Structure 1
Amino acid sequence: MIEHHLETTISGRYLVEAPDGHAPFSLLAGFHGYGQTAEDELAMLRQIPGSERFALCSIEALHPFINAKGQPGASWMTRRDRERRIAENVRYADAVIGRVTAELPFDGRLVLHGFSQGAGMASRAALIGRHAVSGVMLLGGDIPPELDDLARMRAAHLARGDHDRLYPQKRFEADIIRLRETGIDPAVTLFHGGHGPTGEYFEAAGRFLAGMEFV
C-alpha cells in the first residue's frame, strides 16, 4: 500500500460581528473547542466584558462531524497527519484574519482567544501565522509543546478551572513557566469550575482585554 495526499479546495466557515460606527476597530478572533461550532465560540466572546468594542470573528474548524448529541460540531485536527493539518489550519486562520482585517476598518490590534482544543490553535496562529498579535487568551487548553518563540504572543492570559480534568494543573503551571522564561509575565486566572468558563473567568478575561485596547 502506498499512501498519497492530494491538495484540494474546501471552504471554511467563520462568523463576524462588528460594533456600530466607522472608527477603526481592534479584532478579537476566537477558536472553539472540540465538537463545537463558530456559534459556540462567538457566544463566549460576547460574554467577555468590553468585547462589544471589538470586532469579533469566530473561526470554525475545517473538519465537521455530528457529535454524540446528534448536533453539528467540528474538530481542528487528529493525530493522523498532524504536521500537515497544522500547516493547513494555520494557512486557513491566516486567510480568515487577512480577509476580515481587509474588509473592516482595522486599527492593527489583534487578540486571539482559544478554548480547549482551540487554545492550541490560537497559539499556533499567533506563533506560526503571518499576522502579528497584541495578545493571546487561552482557556482550558495548553500551549503546544513543540512551539517556540513564545515572545511573539506579546501578552497572554492563561485560565483554568480548578476541577478541569482535561487541562491539568501541572500543564497549566508548565505553560506559565514557559511564558515567563521567554519574557512574558502572563495574566493567570485559576477559577472555581471545570472545563469551561464561569462568571469569574469572564471578569478576569475582561480585565485582560481592557489592557489590549492600549497596546
Structure 2
Amino acid sequence: MSAAQEHHLTVSRSARYYMAGTLSDQTRHLWIVCHGYGQLAQYFIRHFTALATADPTLAVVAPEALSRFYLQGTSGRVGASWMTRDDRLTEIDDYVAYLNQLTDTMLAACPAEVRVTVLGFSQGSATVSRWLAQARFQPTRLILWAGAFPPDMDFAVATHLARRVPIVLVCGTQDEYVTEENLAAQVAFLHNLGCPPEVRRFVGRHELNAEIIQHLHAEVSGLK
C-alpha cells in the first residue's frame, strides 16, 4: 500500500474585517492593523476608534486572521490565529493573498496620495512583515508592536523592506513575552541592516497603549 500524499486545493472563502472611519476622496490616512494570536478584529479595532472619530481624514481597517478556535476547551471565548506550524507555508500564502486583496480594495476607494500605516501587534508583527515583503504597495510606515521580523524571514527580503519603509518598534516595559534582550536583539538586527528603527516604550505589559497610538498618528498627520 502506497503512502498517502498531501495535496492542496484553492477555494473561495469569506474573510472578516472591521473598519473605523469611512473611505472617501477626503481620506488622507489609512491604518491597517493586524491583531495578535488569540484575538479578534472586532475587539482589536476598539483601540483605534478614537483616532478615526477625532480625525475624519483617517480610516482604520482591522483584518481578522482566517483561522478561529476556542480559547479554552470546546466552547466559550473565540480567538483567531494567522498561522501555526502545521502547513505553515500554505497559511502564509493564504494570508498574504488575503491582505493584498483587502488592501487593493481599500486603496481603490482612497485618493492616490493616501498615506498608509501598517501596524502588527505580537503575532501580527510577523504577519505584516511577511506580507509587506510581497505586498503590491509601499506603506508610509511600519509599526511592529510587541513583535519583530520573524526569524525565518529571508535576510535579503528583510533588508529590502526595512530600507524602503521607516520602522517603529513599540514595547511595554513589563511585557511578559518580549524581554529587554529580545528588543535589543531586534534593534541590533535592524541596525545591522542599515535601518535603525525608532523605539517607543511605555509603562505596561503585552498590550496596546492609547497615548502611544495617538502620538504615532499625530506625528504622521501633523496634528501634534
TM-score where L is the length of structure 1: 0.86
Aligned amino acid, residue 96 of structure 1: L
Q: Cα deviation per residue 1:18-68 (whole Å; 9 max; x = unaligned)? A: 258742322100101111111122112235699734211010001112222
Which one has a bigger Cα radius of gyration? Answer: 2
Residue 76 of structure 2 corresponds to 70
Equivalenced residue count is 211
Moved more, 93-102 or 12-21: 12-21
Q: Superposed, which structure 2 residues align to 1:99-178 within 5 Å?
A: 99-105=105-111, 107-147=113-153, 148-149=158-159, 150-151=161-162, 154-178=165-189
* Structure 2 Cα separation of the partners of residues 107 and 24 of structure 1: 9
Q: Cα deviation per residue 1:113-138 (whole Å; 9 max; x = unaligned)? A: 11111111122222222221111112
What secondary structure, in the 3-state scheme, does the structure 1 residue paired with 2:9 have?
A: coil
Any conservation in 2 of the 1:45–1:51 contact (CA below 8 Å)? no
Given the alignment, which residue of 182, 200, 208 partners 2:216? 208
Aligned amino acid, residue 33 of structure 1: G
Any conservation in 2 of the 1:25–1:106 contact (CA below 8 Å)? no
Moved more, 15-24 or 66-75: 15-24
Q: Superposed, which structure 2 residues align to 1:78-93 within 5 Å?
A: 78-93=84-99
Any conservation in 1 of the 2:69–2:79 contact (CA below 8 Å)? yes
Any conservation in 2 of the 1:90–1:125 contact (CA below 8 Å)? yes
Residue 193 of structure 1 corresponds to 204
* Structure 1 Cα separation of the partners of residues 69 and 221 of structure 2: 37
Question: What percent of counterpart residues are identical?
Answer: 30
Residue 57 of structure 1 corresponds to 61
* Structure 1 Cα separation of the partners of residues 192 and 214 of structure 2: 25
Moved more, 48-57 or 169-178: 48-57
* Deviation of the 1:74 alpha carbon: 1.0
Label 1:153 to 1:115 Cα distance change in 2 as closer, same or farther (>3 A). farther
Label 1:152 to 1:40 Cα distance change in 2 as closer, same or farther (>3 A). farther
Label 1:47 to 1:152 Cα distance change in 2 as closer, same or farther (>3 A). farther
Any conservation in 2 of the 1:48–1:203 contact (CA below 8 Å)? no
Aligned amino acid, residue 193 of structure 1: G
Aligned amino acid, residue 122 of structure 1: V
* Structure 1 Cα separation of the partners of residues 43 and 164 of structure 2: 24
Label 1:117 to 1:132 Cα distance change in 2 as closer, same or farther (>3 A). same
What secondary structure, in the 3-state scheme, does the structure 1 residue paired with 2:31 have?
A: strand
What secondary structure, in the 3-state scheme, does the structure 2 residue paired with 1:107 have?
A: coil
TM-score where L is the length of structure 2: 0.83
- Please say if 1:46 is aligned against 2:49: yes
* Structure 2 Cα separation of the partners of residues 106 and 50 of structure 1: 22
